[in-house]
Amino acid sequence: MRRFAALIDSLIYTRSRNAKLAAIAAYLRATPDPDRGWALAALTDSLDFPAVKAATIRNLAGTRIDPELFRLSRHHVGDTAETVALVWPDLPDGEQSDPGLDEVVQALFATTRATAPDIVAALLDRMDANSRYAMLKLALGGMRVGVSARLAKTAFAQAFDVAIDDVEELWHALDPPYEALFRWAEEGGKRPDLSTTPFFRPFMLSHPFEGDSLDLGEYAVEWKWDGIRVEAVHLGGETRLYSRGGDDISAAFPDIVEAFDRDGVIDGELLVRGTDQGGEAASFNALQKRLGRKTVSKKMRQDFPAFVRIYDLLMDGEEDLRLLPWYQRRQRLEAFVPKLNADHFDLSAVIKVDDFAALESMRAGARDAAIEGVMLKRRESPYLAGRVTGHWYKWKRDPLNADCVMMYAQRGNGRRASFYSDYTFGCWTEDGELLPVGKAYSGFTDEELKWLDRFVRQNTLNRFGPVREVAKSLVLEVAFDSIHESKRHKSGLAMRFPRIHRIRKDKPAEEADRIATLRGMIS
Amino acid sequence: MHPTHQPPVPSTGTFHPPIRYPMMAKAKHWIEPHPQGIYVRPADIWIDPSTPKKHAVVTHGHADHARGGHGEVWATPETLAIMGLRYGTDAGTPLAYGEGFERGGVRFSLHSAGHVLGSAQVLMEYQGERVVVTGDFKRRPDPTCAPFEPVPCDIFITEATFGLPVFRHPPIAGEIDKIFARLEAEPDHCLLVGAYALGKAQRVIAELRRAGWDKPIYLHGAMVRMCELYEELGVSLGELRLVMDTDKEDMRGQIIICPPSALIDKWSRRLPNPVTAMASGWMRVRGRARQRGVEIPLVISDHADWDELTGTIRELAPRETWITHGSEDGLLRWCELHQIKARALAMIGREDGDDG
């Protein structure tokens, strides 16, 4: 358990992505099966021990320490698992017999509500404080070490020098502790057969379009919808919905999962219908109300009904179509979609356009709330995992711009910890009051960052912890993809993808934009 | 550095449960706790007063105990030297450990507290009653100061900075090893250790030396004068260099000591890929270490941890225990559970700061 605990602690204190990857990879290489597989499962939240509850642990603490002292300690530490780990009495160093991760996992699997307290207590007695912390976090679920499932898989790929896409595919087909996965990666073993398992197939991604023109005979055009990219899988009698990163988000969208009842795998955009849009796709803002929820209420399902606008068909029944050219997959898709429940699935239309000039004006004119731009897809391309050049291009609408005034600045993280690099900016009301409309921390060069940092330090009015209020004198030209109504800010507005486009040292703050101007940009 | 010059650390250590602790002494005791310090009425002397007083005994040089502007001061020679450096005070009556004086019928003497160089407990004897004020103390060995001396007493007036059972400081050797392990793993980086300028910094340097680190150790400008004073007072720290006088490239693979506030200050930009560490007992709690943005938390403290606090009370077995500052609720509760007479004194200006 000590090795695993050391990994967990190093991840807690490391903010750099590369350092996290290196730490996980080193652990996976140096640790034998099945411990490393359990560790990987813990990092990706793939283990569940329903018999162990926070209350179990809390009550357990009461058997070793006065409840009032525990309450005071818990109040100070702010986390039950950590408090128990810290206050649990240590056996003398020589008498601890630190169990292996596998032993701990097997013991936790074997617990029932009735036996959990004794089993957990016996394990805690054998460990030091760091191991106790790691075990309690593992038992309660949610390591909270700032590692996404994707990052853990990337670390796996780096550790054994295999392709991340292969890892993604196999990952979802296998169960912890993934011994077959390690065997395959380490020894080049045979790939397990996955044709009827509802695992995640990695998405085909696009590059930004930066040219002047494309031959529309060679490339087909679709709208780029502004929702979240999802993959719906129905195979072997099971249905799953995956996000772009390969996370299983089925629980948040039961309406989609229930409705997807044909064998196959689709790639599409998850959107919600808005009443303002006459039942058509609403903005990303509306979709956000349903994102990030582990479960979803009936009211949510009614108020924000979700549907998938389908772009592509990866599997038709058990037949893998990914090596077929796009135009053939498209034909199969057009035949597939009518079999689905029309409330929850429709087809992303191919745009008929005569020439590139017409497409350019169409893209510029598109102000539909749910359109981000257009997609250009080569008709002959197979469905390729990842971002491969020369096949798919995204051509986003030109960003919107507004001149805003810097109001607050906050310190960044990691490499930027000594810089004020996150800026909140606002626009003027009709009464001459400045209200925040957004926050941005990108878009500037290192040189500009140094300048902005100096500006913040020299123009500080107030300090609130890591935040400084600055003199309302600097105009920032902010670029953003779209702007929506939002209750989050006092201005009632929220920007999508705001970034600092230019520093307008030349412009007086009074001449920055008004809230009303921004309101006019709502699509 | 003085704790009040730094941005306030959001305190997770103080809370105010609606409990009223009964006063133990019925008649007015000859020692009176006041928010600004402990007043010894028959001698008209204050201990560690936070505002200027005519007569003061000062336990040690940290800013929450030592202030400038008093009339007559009694302290150890080391504490007087530290106060001279920090507050420009020049007078005071030096008392070595074990030495004392009498005033108003009260016999005062100073005894080693093991907290920082020169730190002392104050023993007072009056009409057959013995009272000890610890100031701040620890029980762990420290190469930069004399060890704690247990002084039998009737009333033990103690600090309780780490008065909760979550605080158990691990052996220091393992913490120092974390520095070496990281430097070995990342030789291109330098290791920046945030440590309180009085006591902690010198202890970390001395422990690095003890563990065999014989390269120069680099200092933030704010640490220099105190390190020089330690050297003058006979604590050897090896070769120290100033960051300001050193080329960036020459500091790769080296150890640099700075005040905690400088860890994320503009100053740190002159260092080559610094990995940040912080030496403090508060680093025991992960959230606290993360809040500071520290990559290597070093649980190194100059205060007694929970086991040392409760062990010391057990060892001395005083008639009463009074608690000056820190997590007094935790220690009070422990005393209650062990049927030890105890009370919390509401002392102000004793900060839950970086000198943990």
Q: Answer yes or no: are the C-beta atoms of A291 and A284 closer than 8 Å.
A: no
Q: Which residues of A touch B266 (CB under 8 A)?
A: 418
Cβ–Cβ contact B173 with A under 8 A: no
Q: Report pLDDT for B353.
A: 53
Cβ atoms within 10 Å, residue A469: 17
* Amino acid at residue number B15: F
CATH number for the segment(s) A400-519: 2.40.50.140
Chain A residue with CA closest to B9: the answer is A465
Cβ atoms within 10 Å, residue A485: 13
Place of tokens 């309180």: B196
- Tokens linked to A290: 């349903």
**Minimal Cβ distance to A72: which of B264, B265, B330:** B330
Give the separation between CA B280 and CA B172, rounded to whole angstroms. Answer: 11
Question: Where in the sequence numbering do the catalytic residues of A fall?
Answer: 224
Q: Report pLDDT for B15.
A: 44
A vs B: CB pairs below 8 A: 76
Q: Which residues contact B68 (CB under 8 A, 6 or more apart)?
A: B52, B83, B86, B87, B88, B89
**pTM as predicted:** 0.74
Q: Report pLDDT for A189.
A: 67
| Coil, helix or strand at residue A283 | coil
Structure confidence by residue, pLDDT tens digits, A64-108: 999 999 999 998 888 899 999 999 998 887 777 999 999 999 999
SS (H, E, C) A60-86: HHHHHCCHHHHHHHHHHHCCHHHHHHH
* Amino acid at residue number A158: Q
- Tokens linked to B242: 């100033």
Partnered with residue A37 across adjacent β-strands are: none
- Tokens linked to B254: 């080296």
Partnered with residue A228 across adjacent β-strands are: A270
Say yes or no for a CB contact (<8 Å) between A72 and B295. Answer: no
Domain ranges of chain A: 2-140, 204-396, 400-519
**Minimal Cβ distance to B264: which of A65, A418, A465:** A418
Average pLDDT of chain A, as a whole number: 89
Mean pLDDT in each 10-residue stretch from start to end of chain B (356 residues)?
A: 40 43 60 92 96 96 91 96 90 95 97 98 97 97 97 96 95 96 93 96 98 97 96 97 96 96 88 94 90 90 97 97 90 95 74 55
Chain A residue with CA closest to B329: the answer is A72
The torsion of the CA quartet B60, B61, B67, B73, rounded to 10 degrees, works out to 50
Shortest CA gap A145–chain B (Å): 11
Cβ atoms within 10 Å, residue A365: 9
Place of tokens 């006092």: A490
φ and ψ at residue B341, rounded to 5 degrees: -70, 125
Place of tokens 């191991």: A131
| Coil, helix or strand at residue A428 | strand
Structure confidence by residue, pLDDT tens digits, A268-300: 999 988 766 667 777 777 787 777 666 788 888
Domains in chain B with CATH codes: 3-166+303-344 (3.60.15.10), 172-298 (3.40.50)
Cβ–Cβ contact B265 with A under 8 A: yes
Q: Which residues contact B38 (CB under 8 A, 6 or more apart)?
A: B31, B32, B46, B47, B48, B133, B157, B324, B345
Chain B residue with CA closest to A411: the answer is B264
According to CATH, the superfamily of the domain at A204-396 is DNA ligase/mRNA capping enzyme (3.30.470.30)
Q: Which residues of B touch A417 (CB under 8 A)?
A: 264, 293
Distances in whole angstroms, Cα of residue B329 to Cα of each of A74, A98, B114: 13, 33, 24
CATH number for the segment(s) A2-140: 1.10.3260.10
Place of tokens 């000056």: B324
Partnered with residue A438 across adjacent β-strands are: A425
**Minimal Cβ distance to A65: which of B165, B287, B295:** B165
Q: Mark which residues 297-356 of B lie under 8 Å from A by CB.
A: 297, 327, 329-330, 333-334, 337
SS (H, E, C) chain B: CCHHHCCCCCCCCCCCCCCCCCCCCCCCCCEEEECCEEEEHHHCEEECCCCCCCEEECCCCCCCCCCCCCCEEEECHHHHHHHHHHHCCCCCEECCCCCEEEECCEEEEEEECCCCCCCEEEEEEECCEEEEECCCCCCCCCCCCCCCCCCCCCEEEEEECCCCCCCCCCCHHHHHHHHHHHHHHCCCCEEEEECCCCCHHHHHHHHHHHCCCCCCEEECHHHHHHHHHHHHCCCCCCCEEEHHHCCHHHHCCCEEEECHHHCCCHHHHHCCCEEEEEECHHHHCHHHHHHCCCCEEECCCCCCCHHHHHHHHHHHCCCEEEEEEECHHHHHHHHHHCCCCEEECCCCCCCCCCCC
Q: Answer yes or no: are the C-beta atoms of A381 and A324 closer than 8 Å.
A: no
Say yes or no for a CB contact (<8 Å) between B266 and A418. Answer: yes
Going A169 to A174 to A176 to A177, the CA torsion angle's sign is negative
Ranges in chain A, pLDDT < 70:
189-190, 192-195, 275-278, 292-294, 367, 369, 414-415
**Minimal Cβ distance to B337: which of A9, A66, A417:** A66
To which H or E segment does residue A268 belong? Answer: strand A264-272
Cβ–Cβ contact B293 with A under 8 A: yes
- Tokens linked to A84: 């128990």
To which H or E segment does residue A269 belong? Answer: strand A264-272
Q: Which residues contact A364 (CB under 8 A, 6 or more apart)?
A: A397, A398
Cβ density class B38-47: b for 16+ within 10 Å, e for less = bbbeebebbb
Give the separation between CA A97 and CA A64, rounded to whole angstroms. Answer: 19
Q: Report pLDDT for A195.
A: 66
Chain A residue with CA closest to B272: the answer is A415
Cβ–Cβ contact B28 with A under 8 A: no
How far does CA B178 lie from the centroid of its chain? Answer: 23
**Minimal Cβ distance to B295: which of A13, A68, A129:** A13
Cis status, amide bond into A177, omega within 30 of 0:
yes
Give the separation between CA A174 and CA A41, rounded to whole angstroms. Answer: 11
Say yes or no for a CB contact (<8 Å) between A76 and B10. Answer: no
Of A398, A435, A396, A439, nearest to A420 (Cα)?
Answer: A439
